[in-house]
Structure 1
Amino acid sequence: MKLGIVSPIVTANPGAHAAWEAKAGIAELAQVARTADRLGFHHMTCSEHVAVPREAASQRGGTYWDPLATFGYLAAVTEHLRLMTQVLVIGYHHPLEIAKRYGTLDLVSNGRLLLGLGVGSLEEEFALLDRPFAGRGERADDALAALRASLGHREPAYHGSHYEFDDLVVEPSALQERVPLLIGGRTARSLRRAVELGDGWVPFGIGADDLRTMLSARDLPDGFEVILSPGRMVDPIGDAEGTARRLARLRAAGATLVTTAVEATSVDHYCDQLETLAVLAEEIS
Structure 2
Amino acid sequence: MRIGISTPVVSVIPGRTADWELDAGIEEIAEVAQHADRRGFHFVTCSEHIGMPSDVWSPQLPNGRGTRYWDPLATLSYLAGKTERLRLVTNILVLGYHHPLEIAKRYGTLDRMSGGRVVLGLGVGTVEAEFKALGVPFEGRGPRADDAMRALRASLSQLEPEYHGEFYDFDGLIIDPHAIQPRVPLWVGGHSKRALRRAVTLGDGWMPGAPDMETLRTMLAGFPERPAGFEVICGADSLDPAAHPDQVEETLAEMDEAGVTMVPFRPVHRSLAHYLEQLDAMAALENFTPL
Q: TM-score, normalized by length of structure 2? A: 0.95
Q: Kindly, what percent of the aligned residue pairs are identical?
A: 53
Unaligned runs of 5+ in 1: none
Looking at structure 1, the residues matched to 188 and 97 of structure 2 have their Cα atoms a distance apart, in angstroms, of 15
Q: Secondary structure at the match of 1:50?
A: coil
Shift of 1:57: 3.4
* 1:53 is the counterpart of 2:60: no
Retained in 2: the 8 A contact 1:229–1:250? no
Looking at structure 2, the residues matched to 270 and 6 of structure 1 have their Cα atoms a distance apart, in angstroms, of 12
Retained in 1: the 8 A contact 2:157–2:179? yes
Q: For 2:241, give the aligned amino acid.
A: P
1:206 aligns with 211
Looking at structure 2, the residues matched to 188 and 78 of structure 1 have their Cα atoms a distance apart, in angstroms, of 35
Alignment of 1:156-171 (within 5 A): 156-171=161-176
1:33 aligns with 33
Unaligned runs of 5+ in 2: 59-63
Alignment of 1:137-148 (within 5 A): 137-148=142-153
Q: For 1:5, give the aligned amino acid.
A: I
Size of the aligned set, in residue pairs, is: 284
Shift of 1:282: 4.0
**Which of these residues, 258, 276, 279, is aligned with residue 281 of structure 2?**
276
* 1:233 is the counterpart of 2:211: no
Q: Secondary structure at the match of 1:189?
A: helix
Q: For 1:194, give the aligned amino acid.
A: A
Shift of 1:240: 1.3
1:75 aligns with 80
Shift of 1:265: 1.7
Looking at structure 2, the residues matched to 233 and 25 of structure 1 have their Cα atoms a distance apart, in angstroms, of 22
Looking at structure 2, the residues matched to 265 and 152 of structure 1 have their Cα atoms a distance apart, in angstroms, of 41
**Which of these residues, 217, 223, 229, is aligned with residue 223 of structure 1?**
229
2:70 aligns with 65
Retained in 2: the 8 A contact 1:244–1:284? no
Looking at structure 2, the residues matched to 57 and 121 of structure 1 have their Cα atoms a distance apart, in angstroms, of 16
Q: Closer, same or farther in 2 for the Cα pair 1:21/1:153, shift >3 Å?
A: same
Shift of 1:23: 1.6
Q: For 1:166, give the aligned amino acid.
A: D
1:130 aligns with 135
Q: Closer, same or farther in 2 for the Cα pair 1:29/1:283, shift >3 Å?
A: closer
Q: For 2:26, give the aligned amino acid.
A: I
Shift of 1:205: 5.1
* 1:87 is the counterpart of 2:111: no
Looking at structure 2, the residues matched to 21 and 283 of structure 1 have their Cα atoms a distance apart, in angstroms, of 26
Shift of 1:214: 1.1
Alignment of 1:174-193 (within 5 A): 174-193=179-198
Looking at structure 2, the residues matched to 44 and 211 of structure 1 have their Cα atoms a distance apart, in angstroms, of 23
Q: Secondary structure at the match of 2:156?
A: coil
Retained in 2: the 8 A contact 1:227–1:255? yes
Q: Say what the alpha-carbon RMSD is for the aligned residues.
A: 1.3
2:61 aligns with none
Stretch deviating more after TM superposition (102-111 or 205-214)? 205-214
Q: For 1:125, give the aligned amino acid.
A: E
Q: For 1:124, give the aligned amino acid.
A: A
1:248 aligns with 253
Q: Closer, same or farther in 2 for the Cα pair 1:281/1:13, shift >3 Å?
A: farther
Retained in 2: the 8 A contact 1:248–1:284? no
Superimposed CA distance per residue, residues 194-245 of structure 1 (whole angstroms, 9 cap, x where no aligned partner): 0110000001253211211111111111100000111x22111112122222
* 1:43 is the counterpart of 2:43: yes
